Amino acid sequence: GILTGLALIITAISMLIYQEKGLKSTVSAILKITVLFLAIFLIVYLILNFIKTAWLKKVLFALLFLSPGIYQLIYDPKKVKISFKKFIIALPSLFMLIIVIGGIVAGYFTATEASAIAVLYAVILASVYREMHFSDLPKVILDSIKTTAIVLFLVSASMGLSWIMAYENIPQTVSRILLSISDNPLVILLIINLILLGVGIFMDMTPAILIFTPIFLPIVTQQLGLDPIHFGIILIMNLSIGLCTPPVGSVLFIGCSVAKVKIEDVIKPLIPFYIAMIIVLLLVTYMPEISLWLPKFFNLM
């Protein structure tokens, strides 16, 4: 989330600079935004490393996210006024995040109860904004039931598969085979990625985490010397790719259900995204600093 937000910020800053200086398609074609992102990110990271005060580092890092707004306030105040008006209109909707996360963190309700509160708050907002009338409520409930049924069916099927795997000691067998194939850390990590990708395709994320974390975590931490946080990111990324991959990708099913399109119609356009996700997964696997720089930056390790 932080990396995505930072990339968007750097993109916004760069595009504003290009427009201000009159440098548009020619420069942007030569100087790719990824290069700008990496350069500015490294500069900011190196500068903040010299600051020893923890709270000051966090404040300066947060100010980076405000920089596009500050730039626009100086060079184009009219758009800022329009944006501020839209922000005021959207403010009640933004409070949903505060209510849900704040309630969970403060201990007022559980995550399951938070989802019900979020739904109730969304219904109230939809009524206030006049985007939904009372007569629309039965249809909304019916659509929600259909979407929830898809998710529950997939989760129940994956839970059954996880029970069979645990009963047959399949995870333990996989662990023994894995260690007997090679003692090269690069090869073992590649095999673990392939296994987790296969698991993510056919099993829901929750049971997969519960089954395979106790199997692979001792191997990667004790045998390969990986940080548990690094392995956690690898695990989640593999299983997240599986969530949008047929035949059991719950996110893919839900997205197609909401958009009312057939799964076979979206598979081909998604292929470039699958390739990009695999490349990022390999980078995260073999470059631990991609996963660990942020915890280190905030002194969480």
Residue type, 113: E
Residues 203 and 55 in one domain: no
Cβ proximity of 128 and 92 under 8 Å? yes
Q: Which of 157, 167, 166, 164 is nearest to 204 (CA)?
A: 157
Residues 102 and 243 in one domain: no
First to last CA, the chain: 19
Q: Is 184 exposed, middle or buried (0-12, 13-18, 19+ CB in 10 A)?
A: exposed
What residues make up the domain containing 27?
1-75
Residues 145 and 222 in one domain: yes
Mean pLDDT within 7-27? 41
- For residue 117, how far is the Cα from the chain centroid? 23
Residue 256 makes CB contacts below 8 A (sequence gap 6+) with 262, 263, 266
Mean pLDDT within 182-209? 84
Residues 144 and 293 in one domain: yes
Residues 167 and 270 in one domain: yes
Residues 70 and 109 in one domain: no
- For residue 124, how far is the Cα from the chain centroid? 28
Residues 26 and 87 in one domain: no
Arithmetic mean of pLDDT over the chain: 73
Residues 214 and 284 in one domain: yes
User: Rounded to the nearest 5°, which phi and psi values hold at 276?
Assistant: -65, -40
User: Rounded to the nearest 5°, which phi and psi values hold at 249?
Assistant: -70, 105
Mean pLDDT within 261-267? 79
Helix (H) or strand (E) holding 236: helix 228-243
Q: How many residues does the chain have?
A: 301
Residues 166 and 284 in one domain: yes
The lowest-confidence range among 26-30, 41-45, 202-206 is 26-30
What percentage of the chain reaches a pLDDT higher than 70?
67
The pLDDT value given to residue 211: 76
Cβ proximity of 163 and 212 under 8 Å? no
Residues 81 and 182 in one domain: no
Residues 180 and 239 in one domain: yes
